[in-house]
Structure 1
Amino acid sequence: MKVLLLENIHECATAALTDAGFEVETRSGALDEAELITALEGVEMLGIRSKTQVTREVLQARPELRAIGAFCIGTNQVDLDAAAAHGTVVFNAPFSNTRSVVELAMAEIIAMARHLTDKNSALHAGVWDKSAKGAHEVRGRSLGIVGYGNIGSQLSVIAEAFGMHVSYYDVDDKLPLGNARRCDSLEELLETCETVSLHVDGRDGNAGVFGAEQFARMRPRSLFLNLCRGFVVDLEALREHLVSGHIAGAAVDVFPEEPKKAGDPFVSILQGLPNVILTPHVGGSTEEAQYDIGRYVSGKLRDYAHTGATTMSVNVPSVALTQSPGDTRILHLHRNVPGVLARVNTLLSEGGANIDSQQLSTRGEYGYAVTDLAGSLPGDVEQRLRELDETVEVRVITS
């Protein structure tokens, strides 16, 4: 089985997959749609980070692609519906870089509150400006977190340890941690917090959710951070409010358009503004986080290839398979309609197959049945399974 890893995925992933018996090719940068289709010839598993877009067209052109590993948190760069429809299982790393992003957020909150970037630039220019003007402790100040998922909730805990008063807003009803206070609306959070940090996911509905109206509602001389998705924020509106002084500082780690690889030129309307921290999408880019992401996602790809396990998949039903396949294991991804398992078992019975064990899990439009047989799969049963109207994908693993 051939695996293609793009975008400088940690070398531990290459080592793990090679040790598992796969042929692994690595490339340093992202690929556009046409380049990706060409590169995927003969490839059954793909590893990407945030830049490479796996579109419906890519999946249609390469139906032999069995699995995609997103070596990051987000999966909006993959057409998940199209992947499921083509029987391509998608995994990500929802927890591995949480701490790294949180630490960067806290570092940037403190840096902006103390004007450290301004002080640093002045000293590099030979100007000694020892002054407390405009510099504040973060202790006792208020932090508003928009999006209270894995990162937002952990930021809540760490910020509270620094003595900050934390409020949060989430479209889902999330349990507050520590002394965090839930806001009933985004407007309430913006009007009551001195620092606002965005940690929303990449769903389409979040595009452009933070613009001129939201910045205008923020308290005068407040701080703003976006370490989640570039398309969430209207950067023109942010620049206007920074120039006017309404927003006292901003830290931005993600952008609507980002270079494909290290060394490519970068241009932003936020460049050159004082007390603005720009970082090249490095929220999760620590050695610790990248190692753990590489270890975790490569393990998911390996397990799916070897056993059919789909635990923590983001687009197909989850089936945990702790045991190795016996003589024969049938993986059957199908449309979630009544009677499919009965039809599968009828075909197996008619072929004289002896079922050792069977698991079925459903999720939305799809069902995933894993059947272990004693002995080999009889005759033309595999082909007959493929011919069922409800079948999306059939794979057979033999010992």
Structure 2
Amino acid sequence: MRKTNVTTAILLENIHQSANARLAEAGLQVERRTGALAGAELRQVLASHDVVGIRSATHLRADDIRSAPELLSIGCFCIGTSQVDLEAATTAGIPVFNAPFSNTRSVAELVVSEAVMLLRRIPEKNTLAHAGKWAKGAAGAFEARGKTIAIVGYGNIGSQVGVLAESMGMRVVYYDVLARLSHGSARAAGSLEEAVSQAEVVTLHVPATPRTRNMIDARILAACKPGAILINASRGSVVDIAALAAALREKRLGGAAIDVFPEEPKTNNDPFVSELQNMPNVLLTPHVGGSTEEAQENIGTEVAAKLAHFLATGGTIGAVNFPEVDPGPLHAPARLLNVHGNAPGALAALNTLLAQEGVNITGQHLQTRGHTGYVVTDLDRVPSDQLMQALRTHAGFARSRLILR
């Protein structure tokens, strides 16, 4: 057990300094690392810090999370959270926060600019020019205006791509498993095949789930219009790379831009290998969709603010795996945060233990999500160490933490 009363955070993968500044402002002692961690080294830093911040290269598996019983919260300084075992985090009473909005514009701009470059066949012309070959000509080069872009996944980023594409005169269709409100003149397609079959550009903006794994396979690629362009700036597991490489070699597709891959190097010093390398009219980028100074600064601030808010108040608004509670500032002498199984009698058991010690409740906020209940209780005095020990060892409670004013 840690002997210090100072709340500590470890930020991995060169997270922007804005996160460091925001957490330090909240009173945390912050340590930074430039690369990802795994194995024993990862577990060592998890066990010695209250908060961990990661991007996409550090993977927190169930065993890693279970090895750090005092870890309070996880910050994913990116959009996706598939690198974290969310079920294990929830079971351990650990809320996970991410940044679903901060890099939206950066990714959308990259996608639209790549669509223009590929429609104009810029990658192959650039390669030829560097090799001393002058390949001037209009054959196979097209304007974006008047073309159709199919957006697979019409969430925060996908809808922003649609707005930018439509401003350039493109026709926008989209497919999403959820009902989404159209922006501008965009219209929904009834199926994935219907969306890709009518588009000159297909762009992917879906999360990594079992349902989306290899969703762009040989069958879907065959349904694309001849000469279509595929862009993936979502997750590497979404595209069957071998099938895409075959479609490009056979010239059934006109080009591709891939920013994410099934297997990615852990650091910039590790080699990168892909079947798509050295193909004309293919853009390969090293997972930089959200890698702009503006996006990284915004992500650092957004996620750090959520972490600081949780540590100071117990608020979990924006947590991807947790019941969302926003109890506001603490005015009572003490605030008790309790995570428990969502079962009859859990709240009664908590309140009974408080009553037995004569602790009065001045305010209480409860929310449930799935099998998890989360209750924030303001108290008229600080509970004894004996009461806190009883709460922490109660069979129905996953975690109990105290915040003092």
TM, length-normalised to structure 2 = 0.96
State the 1:33 CA deviation: 2.7
Where structure 2 has 5 or more consecutive residues not aligned to the other structure, the ranges are 1-6
Counterpart CA distance in 1 for 2:221 and 2:384 is 65
1:273 corresponds to: 279
* Aligned match of 2:244: 238
The count of residues paired between Structure 1 and Structure 2 equals: 399
Distance in 2 separating the partners of 1:35 and 1:207? 30
Q: Relative to structure 2, which stretch is displaced further, 25-34 or 145-154?
A: 25-34
One-letter code aligned to 2:352? T
Percentage of pairs with the same residue: 49
Q: Could you tell me how far apart the structure 2 residues matched to 1:189 and 1:15 are?
A: 44
1:216 aligns with 2:222: yes
The equivalent of 1:163 in structure 2 is 169
Comparing 290-299 with 373-382, greater Cα deviation is found at 373-382
Q: Which residue of 1 aligns with 2:3?
A: none
Matched residues in 2 for 1:39 and 1:373: separation?
A: 33
1:352-363 equivalent positions in 2, closer than 5 A: 352-363=358-369
Question: In the TM superposition, what whole-angstrom CA distance separates every residue of 1:372-395 from its partner, at most 9, and x where no partner exists?
Answer: 112221463222222433211000
Give me the whole-angstrom Cα distance separating, in 2, the residues matched to 1:125 and 1:387. 69
* Aligned 8 A contact 2:77 2:99 in 1: yes
Shift of 1:264: 2.0
Q: Distance in 2 between matches of 1:250 and 1:379?
A: 61
Aligned to 1:101: 107
Q: Which residue of 2 aligns with 1:64?
A: 70
The alpha-carbon deviation at position 325 of structure 1 amounts to 4.8
**1:202: how far off?**
1.5
Q: 1:177 aligns with which of 162, 178, 183?
A: 183
How far 1:129 moved relative to its partner?
2.4
1:366 aligns with 2:372: yes
Deviation at 1:123, TM superposition (A): 2.1
Q: Could you say which residue in structure 1 is the equivalent of 2:145? A: 139
1:377 corresponds to: 383
Please tell me the residue identity of whatever aligns with 2:309: D
Are residue 124 (structure 1) and residue 115 (structure 2) matched? no
1:220-254: CA deviation from partner (whole Å, max 9, x where unpaired): 01111111010111111101110111000000000
Asked if structure 2 preserves the Cα contact closer than 8 Å seen for 1:352 and 1:378, the reply is no
- 1:96–1:32 CA distance, 2 compared to 1 (3 A): same
TM-aligned CA distance change 1:88 to 1:220, over 3 Å? same
Q: Which whole-Å CA distance do the structure 1 matches of 2:195 and 2:263 have between them?
A: 28
Q: CA deviation at 1:204?
A: 2.3
Distance 1:207 1:131 in 2: 39
Q: 2:211 aligns to what SS in structure 1?
A: helix
The residue correspondences of 1:280-291 to structure 2 (distance < 5 A) are 280-291=286-297
Task: Establish whether residue 304 from structure 1 lines up as the match of residue 342 from structure 2.
Answer: no
Which residue of the partner structure matches residue 347 of structure 1?
353
- Per the alignment, residue 401 of structure 2 pairs with 395
After superposition, the C-alpha distances for 1:266-295 in whole angstroms (9 at most, x for unaligned) are 111101000000000000000010000000
RMSD: 1.3
1:22 aligns with 2:44: no
Please give the alpha-carbon distance, in whole angstroms, between the structure 2 residues aligned to 1:282 and 1:334.
39
**C-alpha separation in 2, matches of 1:320 and 1:98:** 25
Q: Is this contact kept in 1: 2:47–2:67, CA < 8 A? A: no
Moved more, 333-342 or 377-386: 377-386
Say if 1:8 and 1:27, in contact at 8 Å, map to a contact too.
yes
After TM superposition, give the deviation of residue 72 of structure 1 in Å: 0.3
3-state SS in 1 of match to 2:127: helix
Distance in 2 between residues matched to 1:152 and 1:324, nearest whole Å: 39
Distance 1:210 1:385 in 2: 49
Kindly indicate whether the alpha-carbon contact (under 8 Å) linking 2:245 and 2:275 is maintained by their aligned counterparts in 1. yes
Partner of 1:36: 42
Q: Which runs of structure 1 show a deviation greater than 6 angstroms over 4 or more consecutive aligned residues?
A: none
Q: Where do 1:53-92 residues align within 5 Å?
A: 53-92=59-98
Deviation (angstroms), 1:12: 1.1
Matches of 1:22 and 1:197 in 2, distance apart? 40
Q: Supply the distance in 2 between the matched residues of 1:267 and 1:35 (Cα, whole angstroms).
A: 26
For the residues of structure 2 that align with 1:224 and 1:334, how far apart are their CA atoms?
Answer: 45
Secondary structure of residue in 2 paired with 1:132: coil
Task: Find the aligned partners of 1:109 and 1:82 in 2 and give their Cα distance.
Answer: 39
Does structure 1 retain, via aligned residues, the 8 Å contact 2:361–2:379?
yes
Higher mean Cα deviation, 372-381 or 242-251? 372-381
Q: CA deviation at 1:156?
A: 1.1
Provide the TM-score with structure 1 as the length reference. 0.97
